[in-house]
Amino acid sequence: MPVLPLYLIKRGRKNPEYNYNWNERFGFGLKNTAKKPIIWIHAVSVGEIRAAAKLIALIEEKYPTYQILVTQMTPTGRNTAKNLYPNVVLNYIPYDLPHAVINFYKTFKPKIGLIMETEIWPNLIHYAKEFETPLFLVNARLSTKSFNGYRKISYILKPTLNKFSAILSQDQTTQDNFTKLGFCGQKLVVGSTKFDLNVDKKYFELATELKEPVANKKIVIFASTRDGEEELIISNIKKPNYLIIIVPRHLERFKLVEELLIKYNIKYIKRSDDKPLDQDTQVLLGDSMGEMFMYYAMSDLAVMGGSINNFGGQNLIEPIFLNKPVILGPSTFNFAKIAKDAVQNKCAIQVEDVKECFKVIDRLFATDKSEKQKNNAEYNLMAHNCQLFTKQYQGASQQILDFISAYI
């Protein structure tokens, strides 16, 4: 506990929003403003917040006499939830300290708790049982790499895991991995809620407006790029005939990426400058929060950050949902099954490195007359396959709601 304030101060130097709402993180002075009983959803950050969209809409529709509480860990997650869900109550998840967790349960008294993906906090889970709050791990994802790490402490994890009322997994591999870790309770494979997206039309309208000055150009987005990847990308830009969007994963990297664009003499515009694009613009730096759907809507092709270097990849479902073909680097362990299925279903292409990535982009965006017709056919088929792929995986949110309804 003495280290936690130091951690927050350190994070606050890069993102001032970490300097606020400490009482929520430490479980002091909490206030429940809800006038209704609470259904609680924990979604740690932006990806999980967006993945809960359809589930939240379904709960609000079916249970209007309940108030949804959404907890999160990061300021970006909180801001995303605030923008997407105006009717929910927001609170940071308390740090996993007994007094903080106890105060959280005493204050909000949730009727039921849904933990998105794989957030395993022993005190949070233990005291849910103590306060008679059924707790579910939903949209659960546990890769083989993560499982190998957890397996080393499975004797510690097993009693904690078995306090969940059920684990509802994205895929069979995840379910099998939780079984191997010793979970004996109810479990079900329901798929991923990330396929149940509900994208606000404002993002498409904004995308059309922003793209208008360069409507004649193809656009490729490098989405959620991670440390070291931006320089690999920027150093390989060879004055292409298409526009490149780079959206770093973390806001503290915005300035670093701008410095790289200056270093390599790339003509760029920052989204935060709110200036129109022009025909000479090579890169749009996506230095804004909560606009990823707008960037995807602008784009014709998406390259997933985190897959170029060994970070395991980022969420490729969102661009596929919008019928944007995807290019993946070699590292996809965070989304192993979906990445493999997307490649097999020919809505994604996997490459070995950045140089091969740009060769694929050049091929799909070919302007040479002899190649254009063939490559346009390849691109169009990939875009069509995205639509088929998405339909195949939708429905997880409804399955989760159907399962938990017996506990509400």
Active-site residue list: 48
Q: What is the DSSP string of 311-343?
A: S-----HHHHHTT--EEE-S--GGGHHHHHHHH
Helix (H) or strand (E) holding 302, with range, is strand 301-304
- Beta-bridge partner residues of 168: 188
CB contact set of 233 (below 8 Å; sequence gap of 6+): 222, 225, 244, 246, 308, 354
CB 56 within 8 A of CB 199: no
Tokens at 368, concatenated = 């040479």
Radius of gyration for the alpha carbons in the chain, expressed in angstroms and rounded: 22
CA–centroid distance for 338 within its chain: 14
Q: Which of 354, 346, 351 is nearest to 385 (CA)?
A: 346
Q: Helix 369-393 crosses helix 336-344 at what angle (to 10 degrees)?
A: 130
102 Cα distance to chain centroid? 29
Residues 352, 358, 359, 364, Cα dihedral to 10°: 120
Residue identified by tokens 């684990």 is: 167
Identify which of 296, 288, 329, 320 has the alpha carbon closest to the alpha carbon of residue 385. Answer: 320
Which H/E stretch holds residue 360?
helix 354-364
Q: Show the CA angle centred on residue 168, arms to residues 158 and 36, nearest 5°.
A: 105
Half-sphere exposure of 77 (CA within 13 A, CB side): 22
- What is the CB-side half-sphere exposure of residue 405 using CA atoms within 13 A? 14
Alpha-carbon distance values, 245 to 77, 90, 95, 193, 271 (Å): 22, 32, 36, 26, 10
